[in-house]
Chains A and B, each alone.
Chain A
Amino acid sequence: MSTPSLPLADLVRTVRQTREYHRLTDAIPYTRFMGIGVENLAGEMLCRMKYAPHLIGNSLLPALHGGALSALLESTAVFELLLQTDTERVPKVISSTVDFLRSGKPQDTFSRAFITRQGRRVANVRVEAWQDDRTRPIASSHALFLLSES
């Protein structure tokens, strides 16, 4: 396992300033494996999961694995909390519900998170993922995250 050059909390603080998002996603083995990155497009922070054959769940259709889409949605929520708020800890997911709306084609998938409510201990986050047409999402989720246990 590769160790990040900076402790994660320091890396997060740095990346919030520099917006070199790849430094954070590169430090997390799973996001690297999934090809999930953070991008700033026209002032909006989005995530992108780059298409790769190992993300396929059904080779006949072909379609992306529901688990891969869920991973993108969850990562998007975590990066939104880490980079757009001043939370000091890596948020821990409490629960999540994913709706699978359309089958994911073998191409890049984009996602955007919205923090519905941020309390001191718990945050509620909604995420949508789409491919060609943002108004036709392929998956959406809402999840609860624990921000602080004190």
Chain B
Amino acid sequence: MPNLPLPADKAERLAHLSVMYGEAVPHNHALGLRLVDVGATDATVVMPYADVLVGNPETGVVAGGAVTTLIDATCGTAVLARMNAFTLIATLDLRIDYLRPARPGLELTAHAECYKVTRLIAFVRALVHQGDPALPVASSQGTFMRVED
């Protein structure tokens, strides 16, 4: 994948990185993930509530795996924002703490910040909430690697 620099304009950055939430990344697309904001080092992604995401049919609570996908995608986008390039990256590891059960029927919002990059490695942290960032559903910490061509 060519190492394309990202535009400085916020709306154009959002449009460029939103490609990762369309057909180019089928699993993000299948989960209905939507990039709603991107800054210099951070990204915000929304996952709408959907019946297929339910992990416990008795409570309607979304499966942990779907939350993980949301976090992985958001963290990856924050890394691209920080690297300021549309480049190929791979997740090395991801730790998630599940802080409280997600309430059924409500969308989940993930906010990730890439707080450090070296030439190859990026360090990211993320929080997931359902409208009130002071009441996070999950917190996460991950590392990513730039994949050289």
Chain A interface (Cβ < 8 Å from any Cβ of B)? 1-4, 7-8, 27-34, 53-60, 64-68, 70-72, 74-75, 90, 92-100, 103
**Nearest-CB distance from B93 to chain A (Å)?**
5
Contact of A68 with B24 at beta-carbon distance under 8 Å, contacts A29-B54, A30-B54 already known: no
A-B contact count (CB 8 A): 134
A65-B69, A66-B91 given. 4 additional CB < 8 A pairs? Answer: A3-B57, A57-B27, A70-B94, A92-B101
B72 in contact with A30 (CB, 8 Å): no
Distance in Å from the Cβ of A37 to the closest Cβ of chain B?
14
Cβ–Cβ < 8 Å partners of A90 in chain B: 56
> How far is B96's CA from A5's CA once the two chains are assembled, in angstroms?
33
1/0 per residue, CB under 8 A from A, across B35-64: the answer is 000000000000000011111111010111
- Nearest A residue to B26 via CB reads A56
Given the known inter-chain contacts A28-B55, A71-B63, A100-B91, please indicate yes or no for A54 contacting B23, CB distance below 8 A: no
Residue of A nearest to B141 (CB): A97
A121 to B65, CA, bound (A): 22
Contacts of B130 in A (CB 8 A): none
Cα–Cα distance between A27 and B29 once the two chains are bound (Å): 24
Q: Is B92 an interface residue (CB 8 A)?
A: yes
Interface positions of B from 84 to 122, Cβ below 8 Å from A: 88, 90-98, 101
Interface residues of chain B: helix, strand, loop or mixed (majority): mixed
Cα(A57)–Cα(B31), bound, Å = 11
Report, nearest first, the 10 A-B pairs whose CB atoms are least far apart.
Answer: A67-B69, A71-B65, A65-B27, A30-B63, A54-B30, A70-B68, A33-B52, A97-B95, A29-B54, A56-B26
Contact B53 A54 (CB under 8 A): no
Q: Which A-chain residue is minimally distant from B71 (CB atoms)?
A: A67
B1 within 8 A of A: yes
Tell whether, in the assembled complex, residue A97 and residue B64 are in contact, meaning their CB atoms are under 8 Å apart.
Answer: no
Nearest CB of B to A104, in Å: 11
**Is B70 close to A, CB under 8 A?**
yes
Q: CB of B73 within 8 A of chain A?
A: yes
Q: Which residues of A contact B53 (CB under 8 A)?
A: 29-30, 33
